[in-house]
Structure 1
């Protein structure tokens, strides 16, 4: 995967499609760098944006116990005493560890306009960081960004203005320390600091790093600014732990519904097979010696095309009519049997629900109703001679 990383300086903001920016393209061990307008950027599978560190305020707040779930709503109130401007004008991103919350704030209009400019040329960043995300937070590293040095110490970010990297900034020189210091800057920079001179001026060991910091991976604790309403993808600020019981109940209800539907389907299939077996048995008793293939189709064929055997049995026509009438009833038919000249049907219904059907059967034979259990009724119809 090819990564395209854009570095914006203070002079590049606010940016337009004609703004010239520095870009870094790398894929594994292969990389290249250059400068071009935003409209003419090279290709990349993933776009990353680096903002001037001075434009991104970093701090750390302690949240009340149990408030981590609502951190996005509480941050503006928690930062009220720290911010120089209205919290509504800032876009806030955060990382939480227990009750500790590290925060990065950037001007909302600035970030929205930058994302809009990139979108106008078909580019959508997957990450937006402050440029000092490329160095560690132990305070032992300085990163040169054209008009000053950036340093991170814990959750805090420091910026030292400087016209040239050749000399250490006065503010840094006024802070005594014995800890070693490493300087990272553009390998092609025309002005290079001398490690010995820095060591003398600061009174601490100083070395110049040979690696290009712009192709280094972002630090694990770097705060991605694409959160909330400006997130790179869909993001819901929900407390999933509270929704878990509801989700389990929904899953259980769906499982029960599926089990009930499957049981009902299996029951219907069983009843259908039982009815087919009864039809085959009734056909064999009514027409002994006749080959049995499909009793329903054979009976319909014998009814419509009389044969000598059909003529000898004058009850076939009325019998088929009765069977069709019984099967058209709006209640589940569990079994249908024929003995002699009597047709017996078992319905899953109460006797009073089948009274109208019994009246319809009276014109074709002598009906009878017999309850069996709480919700089953047997209808018998004796054919008229």
Structure 2
């Protein structure tokens, strides 16, 4: 069997744009004379679209985009992630599904059974769990289709499991000869290697090929890294898609040629690529062409500036220096030098006059050392936040925060200041 994977970058709610990407994958499969094209989880609507999935019109019209996709499948089979109405008056109104389409005909759906409710996931809020599983015939092969979490509960791989049942194991026991797994699996450090191990283990243990297709792209605060994989019946990885980019690729499941690029995803370079993708996609999908940030001369803002310049182009990033009477000359000089090296525009807006005026108006003691006047110290951060948000509003720029997660976790930040 020849399979084409469509590792696409979807935008939540962009039916037409997502559909065009799906059609490109199907066309790639046709050009490569593939038997099967596989797309990620909820490829039509975009994952995760949160409470948009509770809208009655969205539920009622959720299958309309499939019509165009169905018409594009002449002579080929496609597995496409979508949501679909349950048709029930009680319970959740949608299934998280894979549509199996063949030769301009909708063959059926494979619905998601295991609904995660941890980390960034809240599937039980939106989706009904599948009631049954089925196989799909394709030229003598029997396809078992598992939607994301349904492949992630192998009792022989995981030391601890969240669910009692294993839908993928049920498909194997039903006689599946190929497992198709469509996913929206977010990026975490080391997760690429974990996926490779999991898929390879399951394929080797079951003695059948597994096609694991993952979503790519930044959607709101979630980054999907792609890095789709295909394993043969020996458990060897015969295709490793690149991370953090769209990818259309074709492989014969019996090719017997190992792909040695199976990625661990636990190095600093991989984290950098994830952050760049997240910034770029958040800006583009929210129609921002330019960004700004406050540049202090410290390491946090320098890292954010560097990532932003790579993601958006240095010509589209504005760095604002906002020194007070407590700022060192070195911090300003370092900021200017960083801007020069990155090719990024820097401007200076001192806050000293505004700070003096407000401390006098509010009768605040100006601190001589740290900890003397928390209100006055936080006022400096809030003045800087005001300047940055005003520039953002005036120029239509995306404001990038420069705090780090340790500060946020410990509360070492200023509400309405550097938390902007």
Bigger Rg, structure 1 or 2: 1
Q: Compare the two structures and name the one with the higher strand fraction.
A: 1
Q: TM-score range by the shorter chain?
A: under 0.3
TM-score, normalised to structure 1, is 0.21
Structure number with higher relative contact order (C-alpha < 8 Å, ≥ 6 residues apart): 2
TM-score, normalised to structure 2, is 0.20
